[in-house]
Amino acid sequence: MKNTVVILAVFFYTVSAPLKAKDTYGNDCLPDHIPDTVSLSDVDIIMRRVIDNAAKFQTQLIRSEAEIYIKGRAEILKQNILMRLAHHLFPVNRRTKDMVFEMVSRTKFEAPNHYLHDIQAVNGSTIPNKDKQQEVLFFLNMNTYAPTTLDDEIVMPVGKKAFAYYHFEIMGIEEREERTIYRIRFSPKQLSQKLITGDLYVVGGSWIIDKIDFSGRYSFADFSLTITCGQKSDYFNLPDVADLYLRYRILGNVVVSSYHFDFTYKSVVWAQDEEEKRKKQRRSLDLTRYFKLSSDTVPIISDTAYWQEKRCLPLTTEEKRLYETTTGPGLDDPDTTHITKYMKLTEKLTNSMHLNFNNTRVRYSGILNPFQLGYSKRNGISYKQRLRINKDLPNDRSLYFRPEIGYLFKRKELYYKAIAEWHYLPEKIGSVSASFGNGNQSYSSEMMKAINEQLKDSLFNFDDLNLQYFRHYYMEVTNRVELFHGFQLTTSLTYNRRIPVKRKPDKEVGDDVTELIYENYNDFTPSIGITYTPRQYYRMNGKRKEYIRSDYPTISAEMARAIPGVWNGDGDFGRIELDIHQMISLGLLRRLNYHISGGTYTRQKSTYFADFRYFTRRNFPDSWDDQIGGVFNLLKSEWFNASDKYVQAHFMYQSPFILLQFLEKTASKHVFFERIYFSQLWTPALPNYMEIGYGLGNHIFNIAAFAGFDNFKYQSFGLKFAFELFN
């Protein structure tokens, strides 16, 4: 274990060390004056001053409120029969090939990075659907001086580590209204969707940003964005005018959108002194007012005089022509052809579906959806189906029904579960749920003892035995409620039934063990658990409380006690488990996740099945958005049941720039994140098992490779693959 700790420390020090900037200037040796004759080295001096100011300006703005006039145009340049799939991937109005629209939004900002949008009016040749409205508002959530932008998806060239990611070059100098403007070109040192290319226009002397013009890629779109900052001293670092261009290309379809924004500020509040900054840092955990919103019903205003007053620029001749061909709100033309009807049927079969009616929302994964496929070495190809039904009730209560079914082709096993949940006390996250399903096949503690005796033989191999003796079926009723903020109490009643797969083993492992496979086992196990997260940020959606994030770890503990005699229960044992996990942001899109847990069975007065809550096998590959992980990807399923106690630790480091920046430059352009995994396990039967892994992914798929080591000796290698599209 000591060697493992040393390896772990060196490993994470290596991957978490930031890239070093190669400039020769430090903050303490910047000259007070930029020389009239600018050399290439002077760009470092200028950008150091811009970066220093950006760190200050980023935190000085407390809140602002503005009215934003938006003019948009969207045009389908190329389309085919797969356009019906495209609307799941990017915002598009399929009803019209060319549309123009105008919007007025009242937008509120409050530090550190929370926006609320309220659409006041909209009009156009075709009224934009809600997805199109959200696209417009999303690109307005931008702080020019922040180190990252667009929901932390892109690294900006003004962060403290900018020199590690960007090249800078002075492209020109101009004098404007007694101000010197430096035009500085920035370009990424490696290709990545997390980096952008463009020009910064910097005001000499004050070293503030006058304008930024950049391009990059977000999701399926190539985009370019130009922001001109205000000239008034009251909001010199806030957007005044902006222009956005988007070009989507996917499945043979090409759609372009362009937007013009004009900002009129109603109020701006700055931090005037250190006391105000400290007050802002001690902000409330309640982030309800930061919930991003747009109007549920679109307020269509067609009054010509209203829009003439709001427009900063008149409509062009082409835009006027489009207005004259107004088609009004709508989504699709009537279906008249066989191919269209066929495509609609194909879409329903192969796509995830969303239905809303009478306060009920239904989401179905699609019966022939290829993106429900996954792969892992242990289980081979897997396919799953999911249905989600949500019914809203009075007082923000709700009912959920979530059935799932999946099949593992390599193991020829079918897994299913169904959960019905009633949120009866939404302000306290109070819910009661009932579930049933089947679990992993396993073997009993008596078989475990026999196996542990054979472990002394160095030639022992699980493959020599058929140990999947019992099928597992369960029913569970659970109640969860918040006792005080961040502290939840969970109580549950679980009934497990285990039925032998076979009535005769493939190989005899002893007369006493052989007799065990003829019996069914049942146990009735109540449990109680607590979960606590200090300083948990949350928001209230009506009366419904929703946890958002915390800068502290989440600590969980659970105690279970099987009671013999209830529903013919044979179990008479106890189980205790502890767990701690956390996501630590390391800045600039980097993060470290850890998950540590341990458990043991106590009062072992009867036969039992080692079935831990936190130490378990996952049969289906996880989404890239899986925050913690906490799973062994190559460990044989038999080892999860081979011991009555365990301690495990999982670490995951995520960054856009790990290995690909040193390897294939073109490949890095299409990767969102890379991940490095490290996992360690101790059990009495397997005292030193370790897995290391590397993964990468984007909005289409994620893939990872893992290697397993038993007592530092190589044991196995495997891959994990899952689709992200439509998830």
pLDDT tens, residue by residue, 474-533: 999 999 999 999 999 999 999 999 888 765 554 554 444 444 455 788 899 999 999 999
Q: Please count the other Cβ atoms lying within 10 Å of the Cβ belonging to residue 366.
A: 18
DSSP sequence for 540-557: EETTEEEEEEESS-EEEE
DSSP sequence for 178-212: TEEEEEEEEEESS--TT--EEEEEEETTT--EEEE
The two tokens of residue 726 are: 């439509």
The two tokens of residue 601 are: 């069975």
Task: Say yes or no to pLDDT of 450 above 70.
Answer: no
In this prediction, residue 701 carries a pLDDT of: 77
Verify that 472 and 610 share a domain, yes or no.
yes
Task: Say yes or no to pLDDT of 333 above 50.
Answer: no
If DSSP codes are grouped into helix, strand and coil, which group holds residue 247? strand
The two tokens of residue 118 are: 């309220």
Tell me the average pLDDT across 112-123: 81
Half-sphere exposure of 465 (CA within 13 A, CB side): 21
User: Domain range for residue 214?
Assistant: 31-324
Tell me the average pLDDT across 69-87: 79
- If pLDDT is split at 50, 70 and 90, which confidence band does 27 have? very low
Q: What own/partner pairs with CB < 8 Å and gap ≥ 24 does 28-34 have? A: 34/204
Q: Tokens 């989401």, residue?
A: 363
Q: Which of 417, 414, 412 is CA-nearest to residue 433?
A: 417
603-613 pLDDT per residue, tens: 887 777 888 88
Verify that 306 and 362 share a domain, yes or no.
no
The chain-wide mean pLDDT, for the chain, equals 79
Residue type, 329: P
The two tokens of residue 44 are: 């470092």
Measured between alpha carbons, how far apart are the two ends of the chain, in Å? Answer: 39
Q: How far is Cα 304 from Cα 335, in angstroms, rounded to an integer?
A: 34
Task: Say yes or no to pLDDT of 423 above 60.
Answer: yes
Choose between 168 and 351: higher pLDDT: 168
- The structural domain count of the chain equals 2
Return all residues near 607 (Cβ < 8 A) that are at least 6 apart: 444, 445, 446, 516, 521, 570, 571
Contact 407, 383 (CB under 8 A): yes
* CB-neighbour burial class of residue 175 (10 A; exposed 0-12, middle 13-18, buried 19+): exposed
In this prediction, residue 509 carries a pLDDT of: 47
154: left (phi over 0), alpha (psi -120 to 50) or beta: beta
625-634 pLDDT per residue, tens: 554 456 888 8
CB environment 445-477: b (16+ within 10 A), e (fewer): bbbbebbeeeeeeeeeeeeebebbbbbbebebe
Choose between 140 and 332: higher pLDDT: 140
Verify that 76 and 145 share a domain, yes or no.
yes
Q: Which of 258, 239, 238, 236 is CA-nearest to residue 247?
A: 258
Among 264, 293, 324, give the residue marking a domain's end.
324
Is residue 331 in a domain? no
Where helices occur in 288-356 by DSSP H, the ranges are: 304-310, 317-324, 338-350
If DSSP codes are grouped into helix, strand and coil, which group holds residue 446? helix
96-110, 331-345, 410-424: which is most confident: 410-424
Verify that 251 and 391 share a domain, yes or no.
no
In this prediction, residue 78 carries a pLDDT of: 84
Among 324, 355, 388, give the residue marking a domain's end.
324
Q: Tokens 């959806």, residue?
A: 369
Least confident of 308-322, 399-413, 572-586, 641-655: 308-322
Task: Say yes or no to pLDDT of 726 above 80.
Answer: no
In this prediction, residue 225 carries a pLDDT of: 93
Residue type, 168: F
Least confident of 383-387, 457-461, 528-532: 457-461
In this prediction, residue 512 carries a pLDDT of: 47
Is residue 473 in a domain? yes
241-272 pLDDT per residue, tens: 999 999 988 778 888 999 999 998 888 887 76
Task: Say yes or no to pLDDT of 596 above 90.
Answer: yes
Beta bridge partners of 592: 584, 653
Choose between 118 and 462: higher pLDDT: 118
Is residue 334 in a domain? no
Choose between 16 and 203: higher pLDDT: 203
Is residue 25 in a domain? no
In this prediction, residue 630 carries a pLDDT of: 67
Return all residues near 479 (Cβ < 8 A) that are at least 6 apart: 430, 431, 432, 490, 491, 492
Task: Say yes or no to pLDDT of 348 above 90.
Answer: no
Task: Say yes or no to pLDDT of 623 above 60.
Answer: no
Verify that 243 and 362 share a domain, yes or no.
no
In this prediction, residue 504 carries a pLDDT of: 56
Q: Tokens 């300006």, residue?
A: 57
Tell me the average pLDDT across 425-449: 86
Q: How far is Cα 268 from Cα 66, in angstroms, rounded to an integer?
A: 9
Verify that 213 and 166 share a domain, yes or no.
yes
Task: Say yes or no to pLDDT of 25 above 60.
Answer: no
In this prediction, residue 334 carries a pLDDT of: 43
If DSSP codes are grouped into helix, strand and coil, which group holds residue 722? strand
208-246 pLDDT per residue, tens: 899 999 999 887 888 999 999 876 656 777 888 999 999
Radius of gyration of the chain (CA): 30
Tell me the average pLDDT across 467-471: 70
Least confident of 293-302, 508-517, 590-599, 697-706: 508-517
CATH number, residue 603: 2.40.160.50
Q: How far is Cα 334 from Cα 327, in angstroms, rounded to an integer?
A: 14
Task: Say yes or no to pLDDT of 456 above 70.
Answer: no
Verify that 374 and 464 share a domain, yes or no.
yes
Verify that 563 and 427 share a domain, yes or no.
yes
Choose between 335 and 577: higher pLDDT: 577
Is residue 26 in a domain? no
CA 99, distance to chain mean position in Å, is 32
Verify that 247 and 353 share a domain, yes or no.
no
Is residue 514 in a domain? yes
Is residue 78 in a domain? yes
The two tokens of residue 597 are: 């847990």
Verify that 379 and 521 share a domain, yes or no.
yes
Taking 3-state DSSP, the helix, strand and coil percentages for the chain, each rounded to the nearest 5, stand at 20, 45, 35
The two tokens of residue 17 are: 């060390």
Least confident of 90-94, 392-396, 675-679: 90-94
In this prediction, residue 441 carries a pLDDT of: 79
Verify that 313 and 457 share a domain, yes or no.
no
Verify that 300 and 353 share a domain, yes or no.
no
If DSSP codes are grouped into helix, strand and coil, which group holds residue 568? helix
Task: Say yes or no to pLDDT of 335 above 50.
Answer: no
In this prediction, residue 554 carries a pLDDT of: 95
Beta bridge partners of 430: 425
In the sheet that holds 253-270, the strands lie side by side as 114-124, 98-110, 61-78, 253-270, 239-250, 221-229, 209-218, 197-203, 179-188, 166-176
Q: How far lies 186's CA from each of 159, 165, 239, 517, 531, in Å?
A: 13, 10, 20, 69, 46
Is residue 500 in a domain? yes
